[in-house]
């Protein structure tokens, strides 16, 4: 009679002995498998995509990527679309955020194992104030999504009616705030390329979601005597610079392209280029034909997809702060400085080593995936590289190569999407863990460059 409780306790003990990143990854895998099972039910699909299609879609939703094998609006029923929206919300805001809020609502104290996992999910280095940060995440999400739904209903309800328009507003708001890129139209949001409301609300949602909840909390708590933290300053300045640069590049490179901005008027060109400059960081929506873009514009898009958004956000990529520290380290090297200086603060060698480790792992993951898929790929390598970058950055923009991949290629893309979402959290755990060397060695010299 006591064997079952003892066995359950032993299983829980073994589970908690797993490293926090492994347990977090296990949670994501569990939701992917549950989502796959739900999407495979007869009442979820209109077009039978098989188990492989259901698994790919569930992985893309939980990792908030947005790459698809079929038109989401046509291939899935309202129930299936609802499952996808829930998976997006869970994957974007973080599984442990929901778990902590549920435990708090039930009056159950949050133990150390849950706090450690939550720390990894939110990308924090400290265990203090995690529950408050989790509640802030949900409050910001619900507020932004409520405003987004109300605004987008003004666009969708007149065209699709109250029921259809409200659902379109809810689905696209959830997808936008969580930087997922899932849309219920085959051309994403291209038909609203000149609509001011769509071009304002949707980018605002994924910009806020991509800044990171630490930055949002910092802004919300700002007082005249309490300046923003260095992280918030870097995120805001870096995001603004990347958006401005991307906007200018898309506008200049695509101005006369007959497949994208060419047929539009000046005002519509400004809106469409603005939208396309923001969406690669890692929203995944589009208002112009991605496959018709110039390769130079696509290369700019790949760079922005790999950079991504902010830490503790719904976005992917190596993160804006990582990219900035890499640039600062390069400048410091040429100026023969041993520390980095920015906004009146200094960063040491440890931060540089962290970003180098994250960037190196990111390059290895994308190059390995590109190599594996290219073995059986017969199309353009540039298009394939675009899809891999989109998968790793959890963006969802596509030049059409994903739907042409065989089963092996789709499985590799699934792995890249998963690593793009969970991998930085896992790597962050090891980067945050300090260890003292037990043996000291004499200095050596290696000739570089």
pLDDT at 356 over 90: no
Residues 348/350/354/356 CA torsion (nearest 10 deg): 70
State the pLDDT confidence band at 1, using cuts at 50, 70 and 90. very low
Sole residue written with tokens 């997809």: 305
**Which of 222-236, 295-309, 411-425 has the largest mean confidence?**
295-309
- Residues 209, 143: Cα–Cα separation, whole Å: 12
Its domain, for residue 129, covers 18-432
Is 182 among the domain residues?
yes
Instruction: Quote the DSSP letter at residue 76.
Output: B
**pLDDT score, position 332:** 87
Is 219 among the domain residues?
yes
Average pLDDT over every residue of 140-161 = 93
Average pLDDT over every residue of 8-37 = 72
User: Does residue 31 sit in helix, strand or coil?
Assistant: helix
pLDDT at 318 over 80: yes
Is 25 among the domain residues?
yes
Average pLDDT over every residue of 129-152 = 82
**pLDDT score, position 20:** 60
Is 216 among the domain residues?
yes
pLDDT at 127 over 50: no
Average pLDDT over every residue of 310-320 = 80
Work out the percent of the chain whose per-residue pLDDT is above 90.
Answer: 52
- 340 HSE (CA, 13 A, CB side): 19
Phi-psi region of 57 (alpha: psi -120 to 50; beta: other; left: phi over 0): alpha
Using CA atoms, how far residue 297 sits from 66, 301, 348, 351, 391, in Å, is: 20, 6, 35, 31, 18
Give the distance between the most distant pair of CA atoms in the chain. 77
Is 449 among the domain residues?
no
What are the tens digits of pLDDT across the range 75-105?
A: 999 999 999 999 999 888 775 565 555 555 5
Work out the percent of the chain whose per-residue pLDDT is above 70.
Answer: 79
Please give the structure tokens belonging to residue 275.
């939208």
Q: How many helices (H) and strands (E) does the chain have?
A: 17, 2
Q: How many domains does the chain have?
A: 1
pTM of the model: 0.86
Is 442 among the domain residues?
no
Average pLDDT over every residue of 108-129 = 52
What are the tens digits of pLDDT across the range 53-80?
A: 999 999 999 999 999 999 999 999 999 9
Which region among 18-27, 165-174, 228-237 has the lowest average model confidence (pLDDT)?
Answer: 18-27
Size (the chain), residues: 449
**Which of 134-138, 184-188, 191-195, 248-252 has the largest mean confidence?**
248-252
Average pLDDT over every residue of 350-363 = 84
**pLDDT score, position 392:** 93
State the pLDDT confidence band at 247, using cuts at 50, 70 and 90. very high
- Residues 424, 426: Cα–Cα separation, whole Å: 5
Is 438 among the domain residues?
no
**pLDDT score, position 119:** 53
**pLDDT score, position 63:** 92
- Residues 400, 120: Cα–Cα separation, whole Å: 34
Is 362 among the domain residues?
yes
pLDDT at 141 over 90: no
């Amino acid at each position: 009679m006591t064997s079952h409780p003892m066995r359950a306790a032993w299983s829980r003990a073994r589970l908690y002995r797993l490293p926090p990143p492994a347990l977090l990854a296990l949670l994501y895998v569990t939701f992917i498998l549950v989502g796959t099972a739900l999407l495979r039910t007869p009442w979820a699909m209109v077009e039978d995509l098989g188990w492989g299609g259901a698994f790919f879609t569930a992985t893309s939703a939980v990792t908030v990527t947005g790459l698809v094998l079929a038109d989401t609006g046509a291939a899935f029923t309202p129930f299936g679309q609802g499952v996808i929206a829930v998976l997006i919300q869970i994957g974007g805001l973080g599984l442990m955020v929901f778990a902590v809020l549920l435990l708090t609502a039930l009056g159950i104290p949050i133990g150390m194992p849950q706090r450690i996992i939550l720390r990894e999910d939110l990308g924090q280095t400290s265990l203090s104030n995690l529950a408050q940060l989790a509640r802030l995440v949900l409050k910001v999400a619900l507020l932004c999504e409520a405003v987004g739904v109300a605004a987008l209903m003004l666009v969708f309800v007149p065209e699709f009616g109250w029921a259809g328009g409200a659902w379109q507003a809810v689905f696209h708001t959830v997808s936008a705030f969580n930087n997922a890129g899932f849309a219920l139209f085959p051309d994403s949001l291209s038909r609203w390329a000149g609509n001011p409301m769509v071009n304002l609300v949707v980018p605002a949602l994924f910009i806020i979601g991509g800044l990171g909840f630490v930055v949002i909390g910092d802004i919300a708590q700002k007082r005249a005597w309490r300046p923003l933290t260095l992280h918030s300053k870097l995120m805001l300045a870096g995001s603004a610079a990347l958006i401005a640069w991307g906007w200018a590049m898309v506008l200049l490179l695509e101005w006369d392209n007959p497949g994208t901005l060419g047929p539009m008027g000046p005002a519509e060109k400004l809106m469409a280029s603005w939208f396309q400059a923001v969406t690669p960081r890692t929203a995944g929506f589009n208002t112009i034909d991605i496959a018709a873009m110039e390769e130079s514009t696509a290369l700019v898009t790949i760079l922005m997809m790999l950079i991504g958004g902010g830490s503790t956000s719904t976005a992917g990529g190596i993160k804006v702060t990582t990219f900035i520290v890499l640039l600062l380290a390069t400048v410091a090297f040429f100026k023969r400085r041993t520390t980095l200086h920015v906004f009146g603060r200094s960063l040491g060698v440890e931060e540089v080593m962290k970003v180098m480790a994250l960037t190196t792992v990111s390059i290895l993951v994308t190059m390995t995936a590109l190599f594996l898929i290219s073995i059986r790929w017969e199309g353009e390598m540039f298009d394939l590289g675009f899809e891999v970058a989109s998968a790793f950055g959890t963006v969802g923009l596509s030049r059409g190569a994903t739907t042409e991949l065989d089963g092996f290629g789709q499985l590799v893309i699934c792995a890249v999407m998963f690593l793009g979402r969970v991998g930085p959290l896992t790597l962050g755990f090891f980067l945050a863990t300090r260890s003292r060397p037990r043996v000291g060695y004499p200095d050596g010299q290696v000739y570089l460059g």
